[in-house]
Amino acid sequence: MAAKVLVTREIPTAGTDPLKDYDVTVLGDGVPDRETLLEAASGASAILSTVTETMDAGLMDAAGSGLKVIANLAVGYDNVDVDAATERGVVVTNTPGVLDETTADTAFMLLLAAARRLGEAERLVRSGGWEAWGPMQLTGPEVSGKKLGIVGFGRIGQAMGRRARGFGMRIFYDARSRKPEAERELDARRMSLEEILSTCDFVSVHTPLTDGTHHLIGAAELATMKPEAVLVNTSRGPVVDEAALAGALLEKRIFAAGLDVYEEEPKVHPKLLELENVVLAPHIGSASIETRGAMAALAAENLVAVMRGEEPPNAVNSDAHGDAL
């Protein structure tokens, strides 16, 4: 009998085609509720999950002792309890490398849109309220030649830096270790987070969500930013304290923000929804057709590798292999 594979959401066929040898259940297009998920997971040997499903101990136990792999269709895997998986010998995999350029595109798009007030501008046109061109109308800070601070200088942060170089921006980064190669390529300089926040015109957050990065940018940090600064977050919502950010934007303590991620998705802090100086996107960082196909294909490749007893390309808990491989 073919092993049971649960795919928690409808995904591009590049992710389901490679699963033809298995007994595959694909849940619908929407986010499955917990009960549906627990029921569907029962007896599964493999789960291909997305960021909207919490993969915790309860879910793993509902799947049962035959569960070998959770292949998350995302580079971030804060929705998966990796320790619980490791304890159960379940391999957890993610999809790094295939979404860097697309996510950096989104970050730069938000940077430009927030600086140049694209959200407000579009709302003005659509409302019929645009009466004429105006010399003072909807002006925002110039992007070209300004200082960009990149918080988290991994693959996506560096891809953001490449875009910024095309705009003649000067690059500063905060990372746990120095990145000499990227420094050379982007003429980038490492700085502390404090220095970045107090000196950069634009700050873009690209760090994963961990215990150490929760509310990394909070009220105290926002207070040190320049009044003309723009903050962009395409990493994970809880890295920025949303209530503190709404306060800083409301009081114009910073110029604007561009957000793709939120603390409690799909909820957005109600104060942010009322503000003109924030551009809000619905977690579309990696949402190009090509990239979502590549992510789905890589998640499936990881899943199939574990099912075959092979080393998957992107295990995040290699220590779980003992049981699963």
What are the residues binding ligand DGY (CB under 6 A)?
51, 74-76, 99, 285-286
Structure tokens at 176: 């746990």
**Distance from first CA to last CA of the chain, Å, rounded?**
20
Smallest distance from the beta carbon of 181 to ligand DGY, in angstroms? 24
Between the CA of residue 255 and those of 95, 154, 172, 199, 277, what are the distances in Å? Answer: 34, 26, 20, 14, 7
Return the number of the residue (67 or 75) whose C-beta is nearest ligand DGY. 75
Residue number with CB closer to ligand DGY (45 or 93): 93
DSSP 89-124: T-EEE--TTSSHHHHHHHHHHHHHHHHTTHHHHHHH
Residue 111 CA to residue 103 CA, distance in Å, equals: 12
For residues 88 and 236, which CB has a smaller minimum distance to ligand DGY in the complex?
A: 236
The verdict on whether 236 is a catalytic residue reads yes
User: Please, what is the minimum distance in Å from the beta carbon of residue 285 to ligand DGY?
Assistant: 5
The minimum distance between CB 53 and ligand DGY, in angstroms, equals 12
Active-site annotation holds for 162: no
Active-site residue, from 163, 206, 236, 292: 236
Task: Return the SS3 of 251.
Answer: coil
Beta strands 256-259 and 147-151, pairing class? unpaired
Side-chain-side CA neighbours of 236 within 13 Å: the count stands at 21
Residue 224 CB, nearest distance to ligand DGY (Å)? 27
Least separation in angstroms between CB 248 and ligand DGY? 24
Give yes or no: 228 in active site: no
Which of 9, 88, 283, 292 is the catalytic position?
283
Nearest to 82 by CA among 97, 74, 73, 72: 72
Taking the least distance from each CB to ligand DGY, the nearer of 118 and 281 is 281
Closest CA to 89 of 61, 125, 112, 115: 61
Inter-helix orientation angle 100-115/289-307, to 10°: 150
Would you say 49 or 286 has its CB closer to ligand DGY? 286
Which residues form the catalytic set? 236, 265, 283
